[in-house]
Chains A and B, each alone.
Chain A
Amino acid sequence: MEKHLKVSAIKDGTVIDHIPTKALFKVIKILKLEDCSQMVTFGNNLDSRAMGTKAIIKIANRFFADEEVNKIALVAPHAKLNIIRDYAVIEKKVVETPKEIRGIVHCFNPKCITNAENITTSFEVLSDKPITMKCFYCEKITSENEMIFF
């Protein structure tokens, strides 16, 4: 049977696979792909044996530093990265939850100073499954279901 790619292949760049479908646009936002001048293609609600459905993003000519891509661990902890050179996968990476999260999410505590002043939020990650993190400023613990993204 002829195999078709649902999202077209890229010559050089990064493919982010195994993104939960609900997290696709958050990943785009976290990686600031709205501002990316390179070709970005994505597919959502694709069939996945492991996940049922999934999303995928292909970014031409962009390669991410680990700390940059690890930011998406908050929304896509099982995402996998394929680094593409000349249509071939030359490296595979998994997303790792960073020890510190800067920006990306609000502190859920309405009385935290970060919600009143123009401050980049900062959290220490206490556990990654499920994700819980402690605000560097108010010291309150935000859990996965309380996260509000910028």
Chain B
Amino acid sequence: MRLAEDFEANPNQKLLQGKVIATLFFEPSTRTRLSFETAINRLGGKIIGFSDSSSSSVSKGETLHDTIKMVSNYADMIIMRHPLEGSARYASEVSSVPVINAGDGANQHPSQTLLDMYSIIKTQGTLDNINLFMVGDLKYGRTVHSLLMAMLQFENPIFNFIAPAELAMPNEYKILLTSKGIRYFEHSEFTDIINAADIIYMTRVQKERFIDPVEYEKVKNVYILRNEMLKNTKENMRILHPLPRINEIHTDVDSNPKAYYFTQAKNGVYTRMAIIAHLLNLK
């Protein structure tokens, strides 16, 4: 967090001069890849890699093991996204250089979590006593799970989950919260309960997550945040979203100072600069 702050104050530090960073995106991800590549460019590093496995030797049947072995001979660091869960951890065992997980299936997306936390600390001044509202797809959304786990490290968080029954927060997380004596509340509708929020963390409700399309049609417009709903929310409340947004935040929210999602994405660059510099012991 301190390093990210340092990079935000001074974004062009050529700490990676002479270094080669591999960005291996076995599945496409525009935002995360651009964010990492911007971070590398700002640090003065060179980038090799691919943005889609169809343009790599994976399409010829090469194993992840062999790809990582090869690339770790070329680059000083590997940043990878892969559709299979646990792939980044496995790559870190195989690789001779540090590996950053830029998303492994539905498992983890740690750099997103760190940038979410950086955004919370920047807007709230602390990570303690945060009343966090999570909205949308809480069942499959890895960003909400990772953020929840991260916030457990801090004092007295309160969680409010707003989701349709089909996409409710999985029991394993609720059991964990109960076992730690952490308060959480579940709601199926967006109401003025959001007035108590310090942070509203919005996510997409994706049609493909529903077995029954009728169920999707029923809820698709229930979880849309509109500007008028923000009238009585706290002054320093901020709205976060991992992006991309579809329709779950109405565009009339964008001009509200409480809308923070685009700045949050910008914070991602500083956070990723900090992760890279930290792992290569450059700072």
Interface residues of A (CB under 8 A from B): 109, 111-114, 116-119, 135-141
Contacts and interface: CB of A to CB of B under 8 A. Distances in A.
B85 A140 contact: yes
Nearest to A119: B90
Contacts of B84: 111-113, 116, 138
Contacts of B107: 138-139
A113 B108 contact: no
Given A138-B105, A138-B107, A113 B90 contact: yes
B70 to A, nearest CB: 15
A137 B218 CA distance: 37
A140 B64 CA distance: 20
A141 to B, nearest CB: 7
Contacts of A141: 172
A113 B106 contact: no
Given A111-B84, A113-B64, A118-B65, 6 more contacts: A111-B105, A113-B84, A113-B87, A116-B64, A139-B85, A139-B86
Interface residues of B, number: 17
User: Which of B86, B87, B106 has the largest count of A CB atoms less than 10 A from its CB?
Assistant: B86
A101 to B, nearest CB: 15
Contacts, number: 49
Interface string B77-120: 00000111111011000000000000011111000000000000
B64 A137 contact: no
Contacts of B83: 111
B65 A117 contact: yes
Contacts of A111: 83-85, 105-106
Contacts of A114: 86, 90
B97 to A, nearest CB: 19
A117 B90 contact: yes
Contacts of A137: 85-87, 89-90
B129 interface: no
A138 B85 CA distance: 5
A139 B87 CA distance: 11
B29 interface: no
27 contacts: A111-B83, A111-B84, A111-B85, A112-B86, A113-B64, A113-B82, A113-B86, A113-B87, A114-B90, A116-B64, A117-B63, A117-B64, A117-B65, A117-B90, A119-B90, A136-B86, A136-B89, A137-B87, A137-B90, A138-B84, A138-B85, A138-B104, A138-B105, A138-B107, A139-B107, A140-B85, A141-B172
A118 B90 CA distance: 11
